[in-house]
């Protein structure tokens, strides 16, 4: 993962637990905490930090990854408001992630390991995103969707089936707006 992702994680931990909290996690995870946003660091280091956070807070790693996704959206909005402002709402924004957002991200970070999304049945109030990534971070995707929904002030129901964690070759995330 890019250093920028670790920077966002640090901001989230610092906001809740202060610098001491972040340093404690680095210690536990055996990480030095020196991240350059455009550089790539091992995914295992991020997972170790999440595991350490889970130990400290007693919250399941799964839940923390979801909250991290929600938090990421706020940070992304600060850095890239245009991606959100150009979308007419949640569904339109989600459809733009693979075709526009991550394409632009790749221009900034040419060696970024981004997931791929294919879409089915996009309409004004529902869409299915098929998520594929060797990292199987579908909980992060769920958190990113939740954060995006908060941003647009929209409510939705999510169905996540099939899932790569249950042997499927992709995760199917079906988002339906609640009106
Ligand atoms: C403005 C909005 C967004 C920006 C700027 C953005 C940017 C990024 C960046 C920089 C990474 C890290 C790549 C790396 O470390 O190599 C990433 C990863 C990821 N993004 Fe996005 N993203 C955005 C929105 C979304 C949304 C809405 C979703 C899901 C619905 C999403 C799904 C993911 C996932 C799941 C990953 C983890 C990598 C993986 O699964 O392989 N992103 N994104
Ligand atoms: Zn899944």
Q: Is 177 helix (H, G, I), strand (E, B) or coil?
A: strand
Query: pLDDT tens for residues 142-165?
Result: 999 999 999 999 999 999 999 999
Answer yes or no: is the C-beta of 8 below 6 A from any ligand 1 atom. no
| Residue ranges per structural domain of the chain | 3-59, 67-177
pLDDT of 123: 86
Q: Which helix (H) or strand (E) holds 175?
A: strand 171-177
Q: Which atom of ligand 1 is nearest to the CA of 148?
A: 27
Using only C-alpha atoms, what is the Rg of the chain? 16
User: Measured in angstroms, how far is the CA atom of residue 124 from the centroid of ligand 1?
Assistant: 23
Beta bridge partners of 160: 173
Helix (H, G, I), strand (E, B) or coil at 166: helix
Phi, psi of 5 (to 5 degrees): -70, -40
User: Which atom of ligand 1 is least distant from the CA of 84?
Assistant: 1
Measured in Å, residue 2 CA sits from the centre of ligand 2 at 22
Cis peptide before 172 (omega within 30 of 0): no
In the DSSP assignment, the letter for residue 174 is E
Written as six digits, the tokens of 126 are 């529902």
Under CATH, to which class is 67-177 assigned? alpha beta
Contact 73, 145 (CB under 8 A): no
| pLDDT single digits (tens) 35-59 | 999 999 999 999 999 999 999 999 9
Reading the block at residue 57, the tokens are 């807070």
Contact assessment for residue 29 and residue 49, using Cβ atoms and an 8 Å cutoff: yes
Task: Write down the residue that tokens 């979308």 correspond to.
Answer: 87
From the CB of 80, is ligand 1 less than 6 Å away? yes
Hey, whose CA ends up nearest to atom 1 of ligand 1?
Answer: 76
For the chain, which residues score pLDDT lower than 50? none
User: What's the pTM?
Assistant: 0.96
**C-beta of 114 in contact with ligand 1 (< 6 A):** yes
Ligand nearest to the CA of 137: 1
């Amino acid at each position: 993962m890019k250093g920028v992702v670790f920077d966002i994680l640090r901001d989230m931990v610092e906001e809740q637990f202060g610098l001491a909290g972040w340093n404690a996690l680095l210690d536990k995870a055996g990480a030095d905490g020196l991240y350059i946003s455009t550089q790539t660091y091992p995914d295992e280091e991020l997972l170790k930090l999440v595991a350490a956070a889970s130990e400290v807070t007693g919250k399941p790693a799964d839940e923390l990854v979801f909250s991290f996704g929600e938090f990421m959206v706020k940070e992304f909005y600060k850095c890239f408001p245009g991606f959100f402002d150009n979308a007419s709402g949640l569904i339109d924004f989600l459809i733009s992630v693979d075709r526009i957002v991550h394409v632009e991200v790749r221009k900034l970070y040419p060696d970024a390991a981004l997931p791929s999304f294919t879409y089915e049945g996009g309409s004004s109030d529902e869409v299915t995103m098929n998520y594929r990534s060797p990292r199987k971070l579908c909980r992060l995707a769920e958190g990113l969707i939740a954060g995006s929904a908060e941003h647009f002030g929209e409510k939705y129901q999510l169905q996540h089936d099939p899932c790569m964690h249950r042997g499927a070759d992709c995760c199917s995330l079906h988002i339906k707006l609640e009106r």
